[in-house]
Every structure is written in structure tokens, then in C-alpha cells.
Amino acid sequence: MRKGGKVGKTGKSSNTVMTVFLGLLAAQFVSSMSNTIIANAMPVIVAQIGGNAVQYTWVVTAGILANTITTSVIGKLADLFDKKKLFIASLILFATASILSGASQTANQLIASRVLQGIGMGMMITLTTVIMATIVSPRERGKYNGYMAATMAVSTVGGPLIGGLIVDSLGWQWCFWIPVPFVVIVMFVVGHQLKVPTVHEGKAHVDFLGIALIGAAAASLLIWISSEGRDFTIGSPISIALIAIFIVSTALFIFVESRATEPLIPLYLFRNRTIVLSLVAFIAQGMAQFSIAVFFGQYFQYGRSYTPTASGLMTLPLMLTMMAASTIIGRRTTATGYWKRYVMGGLSAMVIGMLMFWPVTATTSLVYIGVAMAILGGGMGAMNTLMVAIQNLVGLNIMGVTTSTAMFFRTLAGALGIQLLGRVYQANVNNDIVDQLGSMPTSTGGTGELDFAALPDPVEAVVRASYGTELGMVFLVMAGFALAGLIAVAFIKGTSLRSSIDLDQVKKIVADEETIIEGTSLDINDGDESPTR
């Protein structure tokens, strides 16, 4: 923060901003971690409360689905209504759902509670970013964004490790209950310190039809991706129905948004080159950020026979470099006002790190894997500045919807990536096993997964070797998406970040450099490409 402790025209002191920021950071940590903390707890949960393979999957999928749909909605609501009240509501909902999740006695109760928890998670994560964009200028936001990205790295990658430790020491219920006291503290801090303006003037028009349509489109797509081939075939009536719902809902959503008074996702955003190209990079980031913890867990536990806790510890190089890069690059962004060079460097490191996993097998040196993880983590941490670059282009009246649109694409890409890349991984593993054994082993546990303890030693060795060898294909596919993101960012103009959050200075500072978006219209002035910065 600058001396004097003021931020734009908000009049907030450095101490107030930092206090609010720490509260938001804590909220982001517990909400992000709730997505991954149950990864290692699921076998124990299913064993204690019962459940079949479908319910096992839906405990995870329900939270992701609710999180994804909420992310697309909450940004617009933040533009229309009091952000502080919405954030407090998200904390109450999340805490209540967490208590109910830990108290669940059946799988269906847990699934229902996870839906509520997913809604709370989506609200908390999105509103945290939107609120910071409201009280801190884009340039100053660089360092805060770095801290937030570092926190996200710890919570996302470290979640399975923390979950494993909690299950081993306290029981699976505490994976849901431990965050609750932190949420109560955040509620107290934010309730007393946070003061943010409601920019929208006049009567608020909520796009309920748009909410219903985007919810139907996202839900049908995610359900189809996660269930096709397992619960039904591609040509079955339910498969055809889900595809039809997705296509019709998407088409109707676009039609409704083009005519809505207060559209949920304004279509004019997609006429801005920076936003469109950035979304390509967000898709690559989402696939990597949400998928890596899952596939590394399978690699180390299935391919190398590591315990869940040891598997989590093996991802420390990824987590540490991701934290370091997020923090350092965030501070450099604030110091220089430039962002493009860091995002391109991050995506380049992601491509290199992912390609390094192509030759990995079950016996690859852990030193080599650690180096590849470190490069990959550094790249993921460095590209988090991209969100600030998008927010730099818009006024406060559409800050929420712009932020949530970017986060929606990233979250949806992550959810789809887990399913699609999981299919790639499992299909290659199955083919490798069949090539060596002639058929797939049939011994499974209650979740439908292979029960390694029940396999004969020679068969177990083949299966584990296959899980270790076929990881490379997953990262090869991810590298392709990261390369697409790198190419997209290369065509974005390298504008500098403004030092004011005031609406009346937006156009003055970035005129002649980039498209200016003020909420209802676009003034396009592309000019020549700026140098890469």
C-alpha cells in the first residue's frame, strides 16, 4: 500500500484493508480446501455410512456442480446488491452445510449437504475476488492477488494431505467441521471492518430465467460427462436427453441474455479481445489447477503404492513453487504495473513442466518428478495475474459479472477436465493392463475401484505399473491446452495496470491501449499491438 494508507477514493486505511484482506484470505482458504480435503477421506466415509459407486462419485461431483453453477450467478448479484450482505450469507450457508455434512448418516444426506456446501463455496470464492477488486486498485491488487493465489495453491494441492491427516487422527467428520470456527471468525472480522459501495443505481432486475438456463446447461453437461459410459451408454435415452437439454438450454440462454435488462453474463463482454483470449488461458489454468491433485494422487497411490499422506507430501515441490511464484510475481506486478510477461512466462513453464511428465513411469526418479513439479508449480503461480488484467478493463458497475464470468470458465474447465482427463487416464491404463494380462482384473472394493489387496501379486504389479506409466498421456493433453493458452495470451495487448479504482478515471488511463468497458457499451480502439510486457 502507498504511504498514507489510502486506496483510490474509498478512504480505507492500510490497516483496514489488510484486516479485511486477511479475513477474505481465510474464507478463500477454507472454501477452496473443501473441494479437495475429502479426496483421501472418501473410502473411509463410504465404509462408515455406506454407499455404492454412484453415490461415492456424487459426493464429490455434487459439490463441484453446485460450485460451478453458483460461480456463474453470484458475480452479477454482487453488481446489483450489497456485497457485504451476500458475503455474510455465503459464510452462514457454508458453515451450516459443513455442519450438516459432518453429521450425515447416509450417503444421500451427505450428497444433499454437499450441494449446499458447493453453493456456499462458489459464493465465497467469487465474492472474495470481487470485494478485493472493489477496495483495491488493479495495480495494488497484484500483490494481494499473489497472496490469494498462494493460498489457493496450499488449499488445493495441500487439501488431500490435510484431509488424510484429519481422517487418520480425528475422523472423517472433522474434514467438514474444522473449517467452521474459522468461518465464524471471518464473519466477525468482515462484519465489523468491511464497507463496500453498491454501485448499481435504480431498481435491480435479477435474471431468473438466465440463472435457470445456465444452471440447466452446466448441470446437464457435467452429469453427462461424469456418468456416460459408467451409468448409461452414449446412445441411451438418458444420454440423448442430457445432450438435448444442454444444447437447448445453451441456445435459449444466449437468446435470453441478448435481451435481458440485467443479463447474467453480458454478451458484449465477448466482443472484447482481451477477455475472449484470456478465457482460453483460464480454461488451461482450470484444467491444471483442479486436475493435478487428483491425478498425482492416483499416480503415487496406485502407481507407486504410497499412502495417502505420503502421496500428499510428494506434491510439496509443486505447492511450494506455486506459492513462491504467486507471491513474488504478485509483488512484481504491483511494482511495475505490467502483467503480460509474467503470464506468458507462467504458461511457458506450465507447458515445459507438463511435457516433462510425458516419459514418467512407476520407477521414474523422484528427483526428476520433483523438478518437473517445481517447474509446473512455478508456472501455475505466475499466471494468476491474468485475473487482474481483465479487471483492469472494466468499471466497478460490472466488476462482479466480469470476474465471475472468468471464474466460471475456469471452474467449469476444471470440473470437465477432471472427468475428461480421468477418462483418458483410465482408458490408457485399462488398455495397457489388457495388453499384458489379456483381460481386466475384476476384484473391486465398495466404490467400484480396484481392490489391490485382493489381487495376486503378479497381477497387482502389472496394474500398478500401468497406473505409473500412463500418467504421461494426461499431461500431454494438458500441455496442449496450456500451449493454446500461451498462444492466446501472446495476442493480448500488454496494457499497464491502472493505479485508481475510480470509475471516472478508467477511460482516461487506458484509452488508446485497449477496449474500454463501462457496463453498457464498448468503445473499440485497437490500434497497434503493444510490446510484450
DSSP per position, 162-219: HHHHHHHHT-TTHHHHTHHHHHHHHHHHHHHH--------S-----HHHHHHHHHHHH
- Supply 239's cell numbers: 444420454
As to burial, measured by CB atoms within 10 angstroms (0-12 exposed, 13-18 middle, 19+ buried), residue 45 is buried
Distance of CA 314 to the CA centre of its chain: 21
- The CA distance from 316 to 320, in Å, is 6
Q: What are the φ/ψ torsions at residue 113 (nearest 5 degrees)? A: -65, -35
Residues in a beta bridge with 82 = none
What is the three-class DSSP state of 266? coil
Number of residues in the chain: 533
Q: What are the φ/ψ torsions at residue 474 (nearest 5 degrees)? A: -60, -45
Dmax over CA atoms of the chain, in Å, equals: 73
pLDDT at 337: 85
- The CA distance from 519 to 211, in Å, is 19
- The CA distance from 255 to 263, in Å, is 11
Other CB atoms closer than 10 Å to residue 279's CB: what's the count?
Answer: 21
528 secondary structure, DSSP code? S
Please check whether residue 467 is in contact with residue 303, taking contact to mean a CB–CB distance below 8 angstroms: yes
- The CA distance from 253 to 257, in Å, is 6
408 to 126, 146, 162, 476: CA distances (angstroms): 9, 20, 26, 24
- Supply 323's cell numbers: 506459492
pLDDT at 145: 79
pLDDT at 117: 94
43 to 50, 113, 164: CA distances (angstroms): 10, 18, 11
pLDDT at 130: 86
- Supply 184's cell numbers: 465464524
Q: How many CA atoms lie within 13 A of 315 on its CB side?
A: 31
239 secondary structure, DSSP code? H
Question: Which residues have C-beta within 8 Å of that of residue 478, sequence separation ≥ 6?
Answer: 284, 287, 288, 291, 354, 417, 421
- The CA distance from 394 to 262, in Å, is 16
pLDDT at 286: 86
pLDDT at 201: 59
Please check whether residue 8 is in contact with residue 137, taking contact to mean a CB–CB distance below 8 angstroms: yes
- The CA distance from 467 to 454, in Å, is 17
pLDDT at 165: 81
Residues with pLDDT less than 50, the chain: 1-11, 444-447, 502-503, 505-533
Q: Which amino acid is at 41?
A: A
Give the helix/strand (H/E) hosting 164: helix 138-169
Q: What is the dihedral of CA 521, 527, 532, 533, to 10 degrees?
A: -60
Distance of CA 179 to the CA centre of its chain: 19
Helices (H), 338-447: 340-356, 366-382, 386-391, 399-437
pLDDT at 519: 40
Please check whether residue 352 is in contact with residue 237, taking contact to mean a CB–CB distance below 8 angstroms: no
Q: What are the φ/ψ torsions at residue 522 (nearest 5 degrees)? A: -125, 135
| CA terminus-to-terminus distance, the chain | 23
As to burial, measured by CB atoms within 10 angstroms (0-12 exposed, 13-18 middle, 19+ buried), residue 73 is buried
Cα three-residue angle 485-211-116, rounded to 5 degrees: 90
As to burial, measured by CB atoms within 10 angstroms (0-12 exposed, 13-18 middle, 19+ buried), residue 159 is buried
Please check whether residue 345 is in contact with residue 462, taking contact to mean a CB–CB distance below 8 angstroms: no
pTM of the complete model: 0.80
